[in-house]
Amino acid sequence: MPGLAVSVLGAGPWGRAMACILGSNGHLVHLWSGDESKRLALRTERAVPGSAAALPDNVVIVDDLAQALEPERVLFAIPPSHASSLLVRAAPWFRPEHRVVHLVRGLADDGTPMSRLITRETCVVQVGALAGPVVAAALWEGKETAAVIGSPFRGLVDEVCSLLTVPGVRVYSSPDLVGVEVGGAMRTPLALAAGVIREVGMGPAVLSVLLTRGIAEAGRLAEALGGERSTLSGLSGIGDWMFTANDAADAVVCAGMALARTGDAAYPEAERRVRTLLTLSSRLGVELPITEAVGSMLSGVPLQEALEVLMMRSPGLESA
C-alpha cells in the first residue's frame, strides 16, 4: 500500500507502538498527546520509553487537534476515563469521512461501548475496534502475535489490516464490533481475578474455570448490548484473556496479586473499569458473577468471603 496519512490520538504505549509501526511502513503519522511535556520529549528525543526503538522521521508530533485530525484515518488510543472529554473537544475537527479505529480495552464511564461514544459525540460514521492478545511490548520486541479488528465496515477493516500488517503480526477481522469491545472490556476483571489466583496459589484448574466461565459471562453482556456470544471465543475474548492471565508482568494481573496480598489493588483505572461494568450489568439486568466478586474485593470484602459467595451460586447449564 502506498504511503498514507494516519492520525494517532494518544501517545501512551499503544499510541507510540502504532505510530512506530505505521511510520516504519512508510505512512505519514500525526501523533498527538494531550500532555505538552510528552510532546516535547517525543519531538526532541524521538526515543520510545521502554524500548530500543525510535520514532521514524515520518512520525510528526502535532500540538493541536485540528492538525492531528487532518488525515481521514484515525487510531484512537485514549483511556476510557479521558475519552469522552477529548471527543467533545475534538468534535469540531472530526469530519463524516473520518474512519476511526479505537484501541481501548474498556467502556466509557457511563458504560457505553467506545465505538458508540465516538459516533455519539462526533459526526463520524465508520468506526472499529482493535483487540486481541497483543501488547505494545510485544510489538517493540518483534514477537509473533495476532489481533482482530471488529467493524461492520468492510472497507475500513481491509484498509487498517493493510496499514498494520508487519512481519510477525497477523490481523484478523470480525463484523461483530460490540462483541470485540466487550472482550476487551472484560479483560480487566478477569486479569484482576487471575492475579488473585496466582497470588494465593489456587492453581491452573481454577484459572481454567475462571477463563471459561468468563466466556459465558462476557457472552451474556455482549448479547445484551447487541453483539454475539460466539465472538468471545475468539482473539478479543479468550485469546486475549489467556495471554494476559499467564503474563505475571501484566500491570492488571499484578494489581490483582496486590489485591489478594494487601486488600488494595492500587490501580485506580482498573478499579474504575470494574465499577463501570457492574453499573452497566445492573442497568441491563445481566449477571456478571466474576466481575461482582472482583468488585466486592475492591470494596474491601475478604477473598474467602467473595469466593464463598461465588461458589454458592445455584448450578446451571455450562453454556448459560
pLDDT digits (tens, 9 = 90+) for 48-77: 656 667 889 999 999 999 999 999 999 999
* Domain ranges for the chain: 5-175, 185-311
pLDDT at 316 over 80: no
For residue 28, list its beta bridge partners: 5
The 3-class secondary structure across the chain, one letter per residue, is CCCCEEEEECCCHHHHHHHHHHHHCCCEEEEECCCHHHHHHHHHHCECCCCCCECCCCEEEECCHHHHCCCCEEEECCCHHHHHHHHHHHHHHCCCCCEEEECCCCCCCCCCCHHHHHHHHCCCCEEEEEECCCCHHHHHHCCCEEEEEECCCHHHHHHHHHHHCECCEEEEEECCHHHHHHHHHHHHHHHHHHHHHHHHCCCHHHHHHHHHHHHHHHHHHHHHCCCCHHHHHCHHHHHHHHHHHCCCCCHHHHHHHHHHHHCCCCCHHHHHHHHHHHHHHHHHCCCCHHHHHHHHHHCCCCHHHHHHHHHCCCCCCCCC
From CA 250, how far away is CA 257, in angstroms rounded?
Answer: 11
Q: Which fold does the domain 5-175 belong to in CATH?
A: Rossmann fold (3.40.50)
Domain spanning 185-311 has what CATH number?
Answer: 1.10.1040.10
pLDDT digits (tens, 9 = 90+) for 18-55: 998 899 889 999 999 999 999 998 888 876 656 667 88
pLDDT at 207 over 70: yes
From CA 75, how far away is CA 15, in angstroms rounded?
Answer: 8
pLDDT digits (tens, 9 = 90+) for 234-289: 999 999 999 999 999 999 999 999 999 999 999 999 999 999 999 999 999 999 99
Residue type, 41: A
Mean per-residue pLDDT for 222-237?
A: 97
CA-based angle 245:247:253, to the nearest 5?
60
Instruction: Count Cα neighbours of 215 within 13 Å in the Cβ-side half-sphere.
Output: 19
* Torsion of the alpha carbons at 186, 208, 285 and 279, rounded to the nearest 10: -40
pLDDT at 2 over 80: no
Provide the mean pLDDT of the chain.
92
Closest CA to 195 of 134, 251, 237: 251
